Amino acid sequence: MLNQPGRADAAPKESPSPRTRSCERSFGPARRTFRSFAGRLWSWRYRGAALVAAFSAFGYFGAPFVLGPIVDAEPVARADFVQSVVASGNVLAPYRVNIGSQVVGVVKDVPVEEGQTVKAGDKLILLDDRELRAQVVQAEGAVAQSEARMRQLRELTLPSAEATLAQARATLTDAQSTYDRADKLFRSGSETKVVLEDATRALAIANAQLRAANFQVVTNQPGGSDYVMAETQLSQARANLAIAQSRLSYTIITAPRDGVLISRNVERGYVVQPSNVLMVLSPSGDIQLQVQIDEKNLGLIAVGQKALASTDAYPGESFRAEVVYINPGIDLQRASVAVKLRTPEPPAYLRQDMTVSVDIETALHPGALVISATSLRGKTGDKPWVFKVASGRATRQPVQLGLTSAGKVEILDGLNEGDLVLPASATVAGGSRIRVRGFGARE
């Protein structure tokens, strides 16, 4: 038979072989049984998964409504409660010494460096001293000249005046005798008037010479005008010498006391003036800490309170301090009070102007009931309270507060040791059921 155009010949079906028909007759019932069992198994699996999902959904969504939410709680603990005020400031020496020159001069040498520890009397700055040394020599010469003048008065002038006075007295005695004899002879007519006049004139000259010699002795004696003048000149010369020596000593600038040089503003060749601050010395001795205390804490601070201080440079190390001064004035701009603390045993690493933090102990209550300040509610009012855990419920409990410090508050009344309180961040209602977690509590 010819194939018609446009039609495809149908493929002839192959008939199963006798062996295949035999296998189907043997395994057909087993296959149908396995398929039925698998279907039932998947049905129970789906049902179990659904039950598990239902219980999980109940536990996640329904348990909080029935048993209450899971919250953290804090136990009320008993401990030594220390109230402290924390403040920051800086290291402050009792005072600073500005070192400068008392004369105008040129710096010849600076034998010390900034940061160096010096002793009292150590040389810090040397100035050119040639001109001042010459002035000292000149003043010493003036003193020697005045001293020679004083010796001349004592050894020559005064003895000469005394000798002249003695001679004048002898001359006066002789002139007086001549006058007396001439006057007697003139009265008796034995002598002429000319001889009497000559004797009178000689007597007057002798008296004048005696007075002049006496003046010379008086002025050259201690207390006399010539002696006082020479003594004054000697005193002035000595004063000028002292000034010259003092100015010469100013060319060597020394440390006034033990300390550390914290600033140096001079080098060789500088022309210095008395108004210049060439170095700054931090004297050795008690080191103080100056901190700014918030004005609201002023009532807690008192002189004599102990403190623990540390520096930003060495935060892991601390040292003891004590409040020694409270400024009576208030800083209006910062609303703070300046407080100074003494450090009896300052550590070796402490430096001028270091930033420090101090923890001043203002009160100590041993064995107090303490909770975290974050658990306290109603802080702004006069009736603070907390949520206390009682019989699985959040119970509102009023409390009476004591000291407050460093995020902790002291409970004076309202709670007992071991009670559990909820943090203020817990969003629960009073009387609602809760489940406690943390701090060893049962969930």
Please give the average per-residue pLDDT across 170-182, as a whole number.
89
Averaged pLDDT, 79-90: 84
Distance CA 123, CA 440 (A): 70
Judge whether 432 and 398 are in contact, CB under 8 Å: no
DSSP β-ladder status, 117-118 and 287-294: unpaired
Q: Which of 11-15, 147-151, 256-260, 401-405 has the lowest mean pLDDT?
A: 11-15
Q: Report the pLDDT value the prediction gives residue 7, as an integer from 0 to 100.
A: 44
Total residue length of the chain: 443
Helix-, strand-, coil-residue percentages of the chain, each rounded to 5: 40, 30, 30
The overall average pLDDT reported for the chain is 81
Number of neighbouring beta carbons within 10 Å of residue 197:
12
Spatial neighbors of 130 by CB under 8 A, at least 6 apart, are none
Distance in angstroms (rounded) separating the CA atoms of residues 125 and 110: 5
In this prediction, residue 366 has a pLDDT band, given cuts at 50, 70 and 90, of: confident
Residue 443: predicted pLDDT: 38
Average pLDDT over every residue of 107-134 = 94
pLDDT tens track for 293-319: 998 888 889 999 999 999 988 988 999
Q: How confident is the model at residue 23 (pLDDT cuts 50, 70, 90)?
A: very low
CA atoms within 13 A on the CB side of 354: 22
The rounded distance, in Å, linking the Cα atoms of 398 and 386 is 6
3-state DSSP assignment of residue 430: coil
Amino acid symbol at 124:
L
With a CB cutoff of 8 Å and minimum separation 6, the contacts of 218 are: 224
Residue 29 has pLDDT above 60, yes or no: no
Task: Give the range among 126-135, 275-284, 341-350, 406-415 with minimum mean pLDDT.
Answer: 406-415
Which of 157-161, 186-190, 311-315, 401-405 has the weakest average pLDDT?
A: 401-405
Could you tell me which residue, 107 or 348, shows the higher pLDDT? 107
251-270 pLDDT per residue, tens: 999 999 888 898 899 999 99
DSSP H/E element including 335: none
In whole angstroms, give the CA distance from residue 70 to residue 433. Answer: 10
Q: How confident is the model at residue 8 (pLDDT cuts 50, 70, 90)?
A: very low
